[in-house]
């Protein structure tokens, strides 16, 4: 079986893409063995464990005002000290880590859908921005990043000195 990278949603929910499921349900798997379904489930769980070390990708909203580009993303459960924000003229990178504070035996979970671990997102910006003119605020789990656009029409008159 070809090892395809699963989407964040598939890793988050433990679901399997339909095409992947059809590959696993070939006729040879159904011939006379009762435990094939449980073996297949264990195989999917093992894939989940292997993929836990991957970084998740943040979902964002990005919009503009006449002066700024605004990026919003949910970072609930992440301390501001555990967030890193890098800004270039045409790109923004948000990195962080959401740590699980409680240790509960895996056998005691009925459902486990929350994402714990490292995440990042690199966003190409539609306009050039001023990397020094940034305001980042986290409130109730919503991180709002406001970056000032470069004003290409701004001019600066310089007085010439004679020496």
Residue carrying the six token digits 């093992």:
46
pLDDT per residue as tens digits for the range 41-92 = 444 555 544 445 577 888 999 999 999 999 999 998 888 888 999 999 999 9
Angle CA(65)–CA(135)–CA(150) in degrees, nearest 5? 50
Q: What CATH number does the domain located at 56-149 have?
A: 2.60.40.790
Tokens standing for residue 122: 């690199």
In the chain, where the domains are located: 8-51, 56-149
Q: Closest by alpha carbon to 51, among 43, 63, 62, 39?
A: 43
Q: Which segment of 24-28, 52-56, 58-62, 119-123 scores lowest on mean pLDDT?
A: 24-28
């Amino acid at each position: 079986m070809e090892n395809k990278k699963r989407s964040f949603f598939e890793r988050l929910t433990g679901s399997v893409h339909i095409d992947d499921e059809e590959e696993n349900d070939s006729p040879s798997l159904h011939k006379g063995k009762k435990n094939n379904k449980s073996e297949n489930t264990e195989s999917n769980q093992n894939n989940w464990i292997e993929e836990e070390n991957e970084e998740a990708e943040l979902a964002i909203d990005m919009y503009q005002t006449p002066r700024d580009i605004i990026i919003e993303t949910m970072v609930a459960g992440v301390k501001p000290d555990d967030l890193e924000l890098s800004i270039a003229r045409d790109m923004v990178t948000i990195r962080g880590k959401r740590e699980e504070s409680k240790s509960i035996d895996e056998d005691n979970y009925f459902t486990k859908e929350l994402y714990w671990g490292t995440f990042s997102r690199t966003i190409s910006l539609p306009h050039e921005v001023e990397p020094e003119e940034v305001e980042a605020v986290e409130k109730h789990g919503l991180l709002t990043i406001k970056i000032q656009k470069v004003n290409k029409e701004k001019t600066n008159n310089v007085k010439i000195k004679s020496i």
